[in-house]
Amino acid sequence: MKILLAEDDKKLSRFLCQLFSNRDIEVDLLNSGEDIEYYALNNEYDVLVLDWMLPNVTGLEACQLLREKGYGGGILMLTARTTLQDKIDGFNCGADDYLVKPFEFDELCARVYALKRRANVKFNADIFKVGNCTFNCTEKVVQYHDVKVYLTNREFQIAELLARNAGQIVSRDIIYDRVWGVQSDISSNNLDANIKLIRKKLELVEGKQFIHNLRAVGYRWEETDV
């Protein structure tokens, strides 16, 4: 297993590198943020572990930039920020998981391994069809006949999960687990906000509705007339 660790606290970063090494995890270490993009796009990492407040380019900025460039690997943010809005900002910028300092190394390792397992789950095809909708997993596009709907990475993850289970209610807990990670402290409002954004974009397909909800239980993908 190989990770990229970006942490500007040199004492902490050396300590983490030693602990990771003890578990046979190879680490490339950066103490600032300006080289994260280069390293991430030119190497094969199982997970990126990024400190939020890095000099020059913050971990949050690097995370957002990588997602905008199509980087699909697991990203875990380390931060001393503790408010709900901070967490939401981190997830909205593309982070898969979030760990608040100070933390126990065993928990950090567990989250890194969880991200690696999710990254290793490959779907059968990059392009699949559900009803009249074609999903392009590489481009993050849902196409209905000639209408193309472009989604963010997070929005597409949610839509894809629902579509691959079309006709069935997917519980909120399963969505949290599959999209944000079982350990993530994500609010229900954040999921609802993402669903609202997806529905708004899917309105490009006139006269059709695709995402239906069962209050307090979950969501179902089903193509119906409005």
CA atoms within 13 A on the CB side of 5: 24
User: What are the beta bridge partners of residue 166?
Assistant: none
Render pLDDT for 204-220 as a digit per residue (tens, 0 to 9).
999 999 999 988 789 99
Render pLDDT for 8-57 as a digit per residue (tens, 0 to 9).
888 999 999 999 999 999 999 999 899 999 999 888 899 999 998 898 89
Q: Decide: residue 54, CB within 10 A, 0-12 exposed, 13-18 middle, 19+ buried.
A: buried
* Distance linking the first and last C-alpha atoms of the chain: 48
Question: Where are the domains positioned within the chain?
Answer: 2-119, 127-225
As a whole number, mean pLDDT of residues 171-178 equals: 86
Pick among 1.10.260.40, 1.20.1250.20, 2.40.100.10, 1.10.10.10: CATH of 127-225 = 1.10.10.10
Residue that has been written with the tokens 């629902």 in this structure? 162
Distance between CA atoms of residues 63 and 94, nearest Å? 6
Note the pLDDT of residue 226: 84
Q: Collapsing DSSP states into helix, strand and coil, what is residue 126?
A: coil
Phi and psi angles of residue 187, each rounded to the nearest 5 degrees, phi first? -90, 155
Higher pLDDT, 123 or 98: 98
Asked if 2-119 and 127-225 have one fold, the answer is: no
**Domain over 2-119 is classified CATH 3.40.50.2300:** yes
As a whole number, mean pLDDT of residues 139-149 equals: 93
pTM: 0.55
Contact 200, 133 (CB under 8 A): no
The contacts found for 140-143 with CB under 8 angstroms, 24 or more apart, are: 142/202
Q: What percent of the chain has pLDDT over 70?
A: 94
Residue 187 has pLDDT above 80, yes or no: no
Give the pairing of strands 127-130 and 47-51: unpaired
